[in-house]
Amino acid sequence: MFVWRMLMERRIVQYRPNNAPPAWERVADEVRATISRAAPLTSHRARDLLTALTRLAVFADHQGLPADARRWLDPEMVEHFTTAGCTDVKKSCRANYRACLTAIRVAVYGPDLPGGRPVPLSASDPSEPYTGTQGADLWAWSGGQSTEELRQGLRLLLALGLGCGLDTSEVIPLRGPDVRVMDDGSCVLAIRGKRTRLIVCARPYERTLTEASQRAGTSFLFRPNSFARGSNTVTDLVYRASRDPRVPRLVMGRCRATWLVERMNVPIKLPVLLAAAGLDSLHALSRLLPYLQGVAADEARTILRETP
């Protein structure tokens, strides 16, 4: 076993992609070190993981990210990569890349690393916001489920996604006391984890969030009776819900995109939006630009002229 492991390490160290781009030299050490930590058991598996992570690393380098596997393997970055960075390959290949990257993240950082189970790849862009009608349809769909657990859980997900802009990883660790109702009736949510911050919930979802907090007490806010907090805490509930072909699938990434675009259209000053979204740069917002409302030429001319 020791000899076999040494051979695997040698193959990983000697790996170099075909037609390596200039970015490879900047990411090579981190790619090799990360796959070594993932400890693949076969040469074929090692090459699959190396190929997937190399493509992600080069894509992330082009986005201006440092050579840091934890940043590369962030669920949002992986989703962005599979939709925007793999346009030259088939859907089955993109699905394989995402499965490999998820496996690397679990192997290197553990099963409790936030991220959630990825939704199946489809023709819908996970960055595409829901329309107002789709949001209303999702709300009605969630209220028509067969059990109280599903109804309350799905509506809470919509409140956290459409009302607070949270992604899957931020939903899982929340607890009842993280919701604070202010004197003016507004609802403030304290976010845990790597993007610690306070978010003011959108008014239409305040009641849902407040009631969920009261039910949870000091326990977890989402699914308080589920004590195994893992990557499928959110997706398991969504998959158990009955489907309606007339209603789009509930995807937290799309909920967050909807929340972001609605606020970019207001507009909100960028420092406020970045702080509320837990972002430290603008690059994560670039994929949402096609979904922003257009501005008429006369209005644009007035804005540009009157802005000091």
pLDDT tens for each residue of 232-253: 788 888 888 998 888 998 988 8
- Yes or no: domain 132-291 corresponds to CATH 3.20.20.140: no
Which tens digit of pLDDT belongs to each residue from 104-130? 988 887 754 444 444 444 444 556 899
- Average the pLDDT over each of 85-89, 170-174, 230-234 and give the range with the smallest value: 230-234
The average pLDDT across 264-281 equals 87
The average pLDDT across 72-84 equals 84
Confidence of residue 134 (pLDDT cuts 50, 70, 90): very high
* pLDDT value of residue 115: 47
Confidence of residue 296 (pLDDT cuts 50, 70, 90): confident
Where are the domains positioned within the chain?
Answer: 2-109, 132-291
Q: Spell out the long-range contacts of 185-194 with Cβ–Cβ below 8 A and sequence spacing 24 or more.
A: 189/160, 189/164, 191/166, 191/278, 193/114, 193/169
The average pLDDT across 73-90 equals 82
Residue closest to 95 by CA, chosen among 121, 57, 123, 128: 121
The average pLDDT across 76-87 equals 82
Contact 104, 220 (CB under 8 A): no
As a whole number of angstroms, the distance between CA 248 and CA 99 comes to 23
Q: What's the CA angle centered on 102, arms 135 and 286, to 5 degrees?
A: 50
* pLDDT value of residue 5: 63
Element (H, E) at 238: helix 233-240
Q: Positive or negative, the Cα torsion across 265, 267, 268, 270?
A: positive
Three-state secondary structure readout of 83-149:
HHCCCCCCHHHHHHHHHHHHHHHHHHHCCCCCCCCCCCCCCCCCCCCCCHHHHHHHHHHHHCCCCHH
As a whole number of angstroms, the distance between CA 134 and CA 124 comes to 13
* pLDDT value of residue 111: 55
Which tens digit of pLDDT belongs to each residue from 139-157? 999 999 999 999 999 999 9
The residue type at 209: L
pTM tops 0.75: no
As a whole number of angstroms, the distance between CA 13 and CA 22 comes to 18
CB atoms within 10 A of CB 129: 22
To the nearest 10°, report the CA torsion of 115, 118, 122, 124: -30
Q: What percent of the chain has pLDDT over 90?
A: 41
Higher pLDDT, 227 or 195: 195
Mean pLDDT of the chain: 85
As a whole number of angstroms, the distance between CA 168 and CA 204 comes to 21
Q: Is 60 in a helix, a strand, or coil?
A: helix
- Most confident stretch, 2-6, 80-84, 197-201: 197-201
Local structure of residue 201 (DSSP, 8 states): P
